[in-house]
Amino acid sequence: MGELILVRHGETEWSASGQHTSYTDLPLTARGEEQARGLAPLLARFRISLVFTSPLGRAVHTAKLAGLGEARIDPDLHEWDYGGYEGVTTADIHRTRPDWNLWADGVPPGVPGHPGELPEEVGARADRVLARVDAAIRDGADGADGADGADGDIVLVAHAHFLRVLTARRLGLPPAAGALFQLATGTVSRIGTEHGHPVLVSWNHAP
């Protein structure tokens, strides 16, 4: 069985400034594009069977620049919905809520269609993604056609907070334990297995 490879998209203007960015579909900066291209030699070392990406442009563009070829869009890979804190920095939030913590408190509602999410809600999406990953792995192990089965590594191209929650869930931890896994732009992380149990193989690796 292959590994689960997590790719955080390259830098955007708001990731550089520390503004919370979920549904605002900002493009990669020039540095972000450079980061994405720099991932290609690293990712070429793996035997990749399937690639799933967030529907947001910064993730899709990162996958393309990183040479990942055909990627399946998975809506559940979108970033944590920050609701009323979209575009706001943690420093600004702490001016009125000094004890606020995303992982414990979630976010207030935002504009219509973006009510914000609690850690448990993001965790539920992560669990759905992981169920699809596991189904693809089983298909590959059963000798299914390579078009749908995965007998190599599976890549997920997405966003920092979502991937942190997904990592926690893969390791059997609660969603809020994603707070333990800092994740920079334009990085690759790997989750494998040891004695049949998920383990962190490498984290936050940049070329």
Asked if the structure places residue 102 within a domain, the reply is: no
Mean pLDDT to the nearest integer, 153-168: 98
Tell me what pLDDT residue 207 has. Answer: 87
Asked if the structure places residue 90 within a domain, the reply is: no
Count: domains in the chain: 1
Pick 147 or 55 by higher pLDDT: 55
Yes or no: say if 192 and 5 are a contact pair by the CB < 8 Å rule.
Answer: no
Tell me what pLDDT residue 147 has. Answer: 46
Could you confirm whether 9 is annotated as catalytic? Answer: yes
pLDDT band of residue 119 (cuts 50, 70, 90) is very high
For the cut 60, the answer to whether the pLDDT of residue 204 exceeds it is yes
Could you confirm whether 117 is annotated as catalytic? Answer: no
Asked if the structure places residue 24 within a domain, the reply is: no
Asked if the structure places residue 20 within a domain, the reply is: no
Residue of 3, 9, 117, 161 marked catalytic: 9
Give the whole-number percent of the chain exceeding pLDDT 70.
Answer: 94
Asked if the structure places residue 25 within a domain, the reply is: no
Cα Dmax for the chain = 56
Which pair of tokens denotes residue 48?
A: 């990749």
Mean pLDDT to the nearest integer, 15-30: 98
Asked if the structure places residue 104 within a domain, the reply is: no
pLDDT in tens, 75-102: 999 999 999 999 999 999 999 999 999 9
For the cut 60, the answer to whether the pLDDT of residue 27 exceeds it is yes
Asked if the structure places residue 127 within a domain, the reply is: yes
Tell me what pLDDT residue 138 has. Answer: 82
Residue of 3, 11, 79, 117 marked catalytic: 79
Give the span between the Cα atoms of 108 and 84, in whole angstroms.
5
What CATH code is carried by the domain that includes residue 59?
Answer: 3.40.50.1240
Tell me what pLDDT residue 72 has. Answer: 96
Name the one residue in this structure whose structure tokens are 């980061």.
35
* Other residues' Cβ atoms within 10 Å of the Cβ of residue 30: 9
Asked if the structure places residue 55 within a domain, the reply is: yes
Residue 175's closest CA among 117, 114, 132, 136? 117
Domain that holds residue 186: 4-15+31-79+118-205
Q: What integer best gives the mean pLDDT of the chain?
A: 94
Q: What is the DSSP-derived secondary structure letter of residue 77? A: G
Mean pLDDT to the nearest integer, 135-157: 73
Q: How many CA atoms lie within 13 A of 176 on its CB side?
A: 8
pLDDT band of residue 146 (cuts 50, 70, 90) is very low
Tell me what pLDDT residue 32 has. Answer: 98
Mean pLDDT to the nearest integer, 126-151: 76
Give the span between the Cα atoms of 189 and 171, in whole angstroms.
14
